[in-house]
A = this chain, B = another copy of it.
Amino acid sequence: MMNPQPSTRERLIASGLPLLLERGYHGLGLQALLAATGVPKGSFYHHFRDKEDFALQVVDAYMREVHAGLDACLDDASLAPLDRVRRFFEMTQQVYQSQGYMGCLLGGLGQELAGVSDTFRKKIETCFTGIASRLVVCLKEARQRGDLPATSDPPQLAALLVDCWEGAALRSRLQRDLAPLDAMLDFYFRSAGAS
């Protein structure tokens, strides 16, 4: 059976993601997007109210992928809970590599737009808290098993992991290299287990 053809809306979102990752929000020209997809302008405005609406829907699509990755890694009962968490970030490294070391869309749009758009500021913040809340579940399980100290604070550790990851993702984007992400994960997991 063949896969169903993606809809125009899906094609626009799929093409928008790498463009937004590379060029950012202001750097994404709708003309370039329409040229890349062969979609006429009127059709774009049939599916999206404006560029902001489009970018927000790209973020939603990005987050569906992120949560699918979290599902795949965090629900894997064959791994210890901390290994599941690390597995998710290692899988994300592979995604970054496949995208040309562009780092994280949330970090990119968050930095670019948080100063001028409360819509994006709150949207991106909600995405991060959503990811952290998934990680908390595993971190609590790790604490229960004794893989984290009894005094550790899973919500705080989850927020720290997301934050430190984002800084390392920026350096990965600047260096076009995964090494900053590796170093950060090594430091974090060594520290979280000891603290």
Interface residues of A (CB under 8 A from B): 21-24, 26-27, 102-103, 107-108, 110-116, 121, 124-125, 128, 156, 159-160, 162-171, 173-175, 180, 183-184, 187, 190-191, 194-195
Contacts and interface: CB of A to CB of B under 8 A. Distances in A.
Contact of A167 (B27, B113, B167): B167
Contacts of A169: 167
Contacts of A162: 167, 171
Contact of A166 (B128, B156, B160, B171): B171
Contact of A180 (B115, B159, B175, B190): B159
Nearest to A109: B111
Given A110-B173, A125-B174, 19 more contacts: A21-B115, A23-B115, A24-B26, A24-B113, A24-B115, A27-B115, A102-B115, A107-B170, A110-B111, A112-B112, A114-B174, A115-B173, A125-B171, A163-B171, A163-B184, A164-B164, A164-B167, A166-B170, A190-B195
A116 B24 contact: yes
**What is the total number of copies of this protein in its complex?**
2
Contacts of A183: 156, 159-160, 163
A168 to B, nearest CB: 5
A80 B27 CA distance: 46
A174 B26 CA distance: 18
A190 B152 CA distance: 13
A96 to B, nearest CB: 12
A110 B174 contact: yes
A169 B174 CA distance: 17
